[in-house]
Structure 1
Amino acid sequence: MTGKLFIRWPTTQLLPVLPEPSVLALDNAPYHTQLTDVCRCPTMATKKANLITWLERHGIPVPDGPTQPELLVRCQQNQPKLQYTEDNIIGEWGHEVVCLPPAHPELNATEQVWACMKHHVCSSLHRFPWADLQARLEAAKL
């Protein structure tokens, strides 16, 4: 799964039919937390010239003769507030995003449904042929 693939489903299927305003709960999967280009801060791997460009683009004065580590510290001190692409897109549709805390699957309704489904399939399955598994999955949908 990628951020682009993830956002395609809500924008084409979910958001057009979701009553406004709604709250969408997202877990901390990497494709749910894609930083926007505006708030992306340079890293230690960023070249000195690119650090200077980033600072200038954000209206931050660049001192004379700075070292790369000094520039990086200045960038980090002036990093814009974090924004996530998915939050912005969902917000444009008039909805709000709530992020679930990391490592708490018990708060995620989807995880609870999958746990029930897996328990049902495993507890009633004596053999593992594909046809039997499909039949058990269909029976669990009820």
Structure 2
Amino acid sequence: MKLLLQEVQKIKKYRNEGRDIIYGDVTCVYYGLYKDYTWRDVFSKGINNKIAWGPRLIFVQAGNAKGFVTKASLVMGDCRSIINKEIYDKWLRERLIPNMQPNSVFVVDEISYKSTIEEKVPNSKSSKKTMRNWLASKNIRFDSQCFQPELYEMIKKHKDLHIKYSLDTIMEANGHKVLILPPHHPEFNPIENIWSKIKGKVETFWSEVKGVNYYDVALNSTEMLRLADIFAAIGPEEWHQAVDQAIRCEDEFMTLEYAMDIRQDQLTVETETENNDWSSDDSSSSDSLDTFTGVNDTDSDTEVHLPNIEELGYHYSFESESESESELNR
């Protein structure tokens, strides 16, 4: 949660600076992933055809509130389609970066081929020397007498703020910043909503060309033009709505974080007050007991007189065991 908070704060900061925020992602649609009907109600099935997992279309794109980045689209469609770091990096250098505005910010989610770590972070089995060198290189202060587990705890505490990805190197070399969203937070990336619209149209496209051979789904020029038209149909209006939705999610998230922070402070103050009250009660109880018994810390050798029960005004009569038994026998 701390890392997500930092990334959202950075997005808002860069947006306020007037920098162009570009949202990127990769998605795919498998051949056979089409539907004749949408979900209608809880009693009727929406997808009436089986989903076939096999050949697929892979889309790589990026955009902002103005629409898709011009000339940055990459579509791969055959049974051998696969996306990896080499292809992704080539797309960055040859299609995305040349068409980005100077000093832009590129926002993506965390996927292995996008966010390959350039500098390895020491793990729990690394040597003390390796751990010390890493901490020193990040200007993190540590005690030279620390044991290996202690050094590793410090590394775990700071590593998220100092991990450098190959994506960072590529973008920074061209004057851009990168923000990598933590997993499971698609609400902060507007392109996820855009993919939803694209996939709906692509599913219809699949249903119309599903008669082609299952293992030979390489798209011809006519079909590629139809896909291009699908992308062209998603314009600035759809993108503007998606970005606005992401901004609302950011605002709601920040509002919740502020509320939780304020509540945490209140709980801390209440706990401290309760602890102080308990300390006061303990102190007064101790003083009362000392006064009652006549104990004086400074005069520990003085003989203390403890009053007996009669002197305190309490009077009890104690019956003997024989008397109690005779009373019961009556």
Aligned to 1:45: 125
Aligned-pair identity (%): 19
Distance 1:24 1:114, change over 3 A: farther
TM-score if structure 2 supplies the norm length? 0.33
Query: Taking structure 1 as reference, are residues 101 and 11 closer, same or farther at Cα in structure 2, changes over 3 Å only?
Result: same
Q: Is the 8 A contact 1:56 1:62 kept in 2?
A: no
Alignment deviations for residues 84-131 of structure 1 (CA, whole Å, 9 cap, x no partner) = 33134323323344546644387423564244213321x224534259
Match of 1:140 in 2: 226
* Distance in 2 of aligned mates of 1:16 and 1:139: 23
> Which runs of no fewer than 5 residues in structure 2 stay unpaired?
1-82, 230-330
Q: C-alpha distance in 2, partners of 1:118/1:75? A: 46
Question: Within 5 A, what are the aligned runs for 1:1-142?
Answer: 1-37=83-119, 40-58=120-138, 60-64=141-145, 66-79=146-159, 81-82=161-162, 83-99=164-180, 102-103=183-184, 104=186, 107-108=191-192, 109-110=194-195, 112-121=197-206, 123-125=207-209, 127-129=211-213, 133=217, 134=219, 137-138=223-224, 140-141=226-227, 142=229
Q: Which amino acid aligns with 1:33?
A: S
TM, length-normalised to structure 1: 0.63
- For 1:79 and 1:132, locate their aligned partners in 2 and report how far apart those are by CA, in whole Å: 46
Evaluate the alpha carbon distance shift between residue 98 and residue 43 of structure 1 in structure 2; reply closer, same or farther with a 3 A threshold: closer
The Cα shift of 1:4 comes to: 4.7
Q: Displacement, 1:72?
A: 0.9
Gaps of 5+ in 1: none
Q: 1:91 to 1:115 in 2, by over 3 A?
A: farther
- Superposed CA offset, 1:44-82 (max 9, x none): 132334223333444544433x43212212333454724
Which structure has the larger Rg over C-alpha atoms? 2
CA contact (8 A) 1:90 1:96 kept: yes
CA distance in 1, matches of 2:226, 2:116: 35
